[in-house]
A and B are shown apart, each in its own frame.
Chain A
């Protein structure tokens, strides 16, 4: 990534300053929506819909409590009769004449996102690694066509794909199951993982394996003992890209899951409180949902370009 010297000559200090100011300004504007959402997660429901919007406010964890619980409104007398609140979150909720009646479904949906995300990522990367190796090293009949076929599966609108999948899963009993979603996300991610990983394998010199084979390894052993270790970084990057896709996916989850296997993205937009959307709870859920992705983005920044172009641009 040492690219400093390439620009038009070397920019003058003043040019640099101007460029810096403009870029930083853009970055700050870009951050406003995200910062605002994170802040909203710490507002009380009335503060979240106050006019004009409050920039300074008293932070509260109500949004997070609401995100994880279901509550019902009770009369002050009834709440009085319950005795003192046992936990801080009970106390917080009672200030609004509410009583916690149970856990919300958010934690379960979040877990579904984790299970389906990791399950499909593992499968996609596993299958993708094998296929990428074969595509990279061996003569495959119709190689280009096959590679394009793999990519083309990604060009279809998800809603269009969902129609036959819906019918097929209904017949097979895969509707609203973790397995069904894992298989589907695996299939969708395969294109990404094959293309990306093939690029990584291409970069590993063949000589290593040839040498290993000469040393008496079988091809398969050479792949496992020589190539795989070299692919580690590439596999990790690919895995994160697959994970992010599965994590963010919405259309399939909306159309093919319901009570059992629903992931977080179709759930977050429908977190309602009393009356309309419970914005602090939605913001809290959004924050918890986005944090892992932001962390991964920062970790991945060097591989990002490769990931988002299916390996077409490598650096």
Chain B
């Protein structure tokens, strides 16, 4: 493929105006550009864009991937109507929204707090910072698996430690309808607070000293300094962190599926988990494709709105 591109496209570049102006030795800039970018773009076209278009097409059909011989029928927007009219689907989206909002809220508070503390530069801060960072680099599926072990109501360490402080008896984090949504929020917080913390630290370190000195001259108190100097400066960083993590959590699949597999009932059935059921257990490929498109449009739409807000904050 790359060679074709070279032969096909390099010629006009080399013979063109630019090629004439430069000492036309070797490949022209244009040829290099094409040659260097084409493979990536082609791969992405083949593995991302073409499948995406296919998904959009399938979302208007009754296709089932487990019935190869079946005629693919165009059914218009029926899949979409069904999805948007389904109480269950709204329930999954709601569960996802709850998960995203709570994880972001808690992690922003914790992460910001930690960053402010670390920024005091006590002795050993870099070492402890590295320790805190470890959870976010781990495999979410493996994390989910071993947290099921930690969450065992009788034999697990989570319940045991809580009971050291308050005797409430075995805590069934995964089995209880009320606790399970928090169980996944806790694990996500454990994993990803460091992410927010790291970005807040970067924000804090971008604040030049003279601003604080000026504040001191103006006799601002600590709260005022934080509110008028620190916060506005780290807000873009914080929002960027929330953007990245928010998208990831909206897509959340691996950690939660291993931890609760959507249960009890459907209390932790996040959108991606249900999508997997529709696509790879029920094999309603057309329907699942419509669901995928809806999720994708949602991420993109919300992401774009958010980025606009982010840009305003930056200014």
* A and B directly contacting (CB within 8 A): yes
Interface centre among A22, A33, A50 (most CB of B within 10 A): A33
- Interface: B104 (CB within 8 A): no
Contact A158 B114 (CB under 8 A): no
Q: B139 near A: Cβ within 8 Å? A: yes
B258 proximity list for chain A (CB < 8 A) = 250, 269
Chain A 285-309 per-residue mask, 1 if CB under 8 angstroms from chain B, else 0: 0100110011011100100110011
Contact A160 to B296, CB < 8 A, known contacts A7-B121, A131-B37, A138-B32: yes
| Interface set, chain A 165-180, CB cutoff 8 A to B | 165-168, 170
Contact indicator B123/A31 (Cβ below 8 Å): no
Residues 147-180 of B, flagged 1 when their CB comes within 8 A of A and 0 if not, give: 1011010111100110000000000000000000
Chain A residues 41-64 with CB under 8 Å of chain B are 48-53
Residue of A nearest to B229 (CB): A8
Query: Closest B-chain residue to A289, C-beta based?
Result: B142
A149 at the binding interface (Cβ < 8 Å): yes
Q: Which residues of chain A are near B129, meaning CB under 8 Å?
A: 23, 301
Residues of B with C-beta under 8 A to A155: 247, 296, 299-300, 303
B contact residues, total (Cβ < 8 Å): 109
User: Are B212 and A8 interface neighbours, CB within 8 A?
Assistant: yes
A167 to B51, CA, bound (A): 9
The complex places the Cα of A155 from the Cα of B297 at a distance, in Å, of 10
**B40 adjacent to A265 (CB under 8 Å):** no
CB nearest neighbor in B for A28: B131
Closest to B277 in A: A159
Q: Which of B75-83, B85-93, B287-295 contacts A (4 or more CB under 8 A)?
A: B287-295
Q: Quick one: closest A residue to B136, CB to CB?
A: A308
| Contact residues in A for B275 (Cβ distance below 8 Å) | 157, 159-160
Minimum C-beta distance from A81 to chain B (A): 36
Judge if A118 is at the interface, Cβ distance under 8 Å. no
Whether the Cβ atoms of A218 and B25 lie closer than 8 Å is yes
Q: List 8 A-B contacts (CB under 8 A).
A: A6-B208, A23-B114, A24-B124, A53-B155, A150-B40, A152-B300, A289-B142, A309-B241
Instruction: Please list the residues of chain B having a beta carbon within 8 angstroms of any beta carbon in chain A.
Output: 25-30, 32-33, 35-37, 39-41, 43-44, 46-52, 54-55, 58, 65, 114, 117-126, 128-142, 144-147, 149-150, 152, 154-157, 160-161, 190, 195, 198-199, 201-202, 204-205, 207-209, 212, 216, 222, 225, 230, 237, 240-241, 244, 247, 250-251, 253-254, 258, 271-272, 275-276, 279-280, 285, 288-289, 291-293, 295-296, 299-300, 303
A interface list, Cβ under 8 A from B = 1, 3-9, 11, 15-17, 19-20, 22-24, 26-27, 30-34, 36-37, 40, 48-53, 127-128, 130-131, 133-135, 137-140, 146, 149-150, 152-153, 155-168, 170, 183-184, 186-187, 190, 194, 218-221, 223, 244, 247-251, 254-255, 265-266, 268-269, 277, 279, 282-283, 286, 289-290, 293-294, 296-298, 301, 304-305, 308-310, 312-313, 315
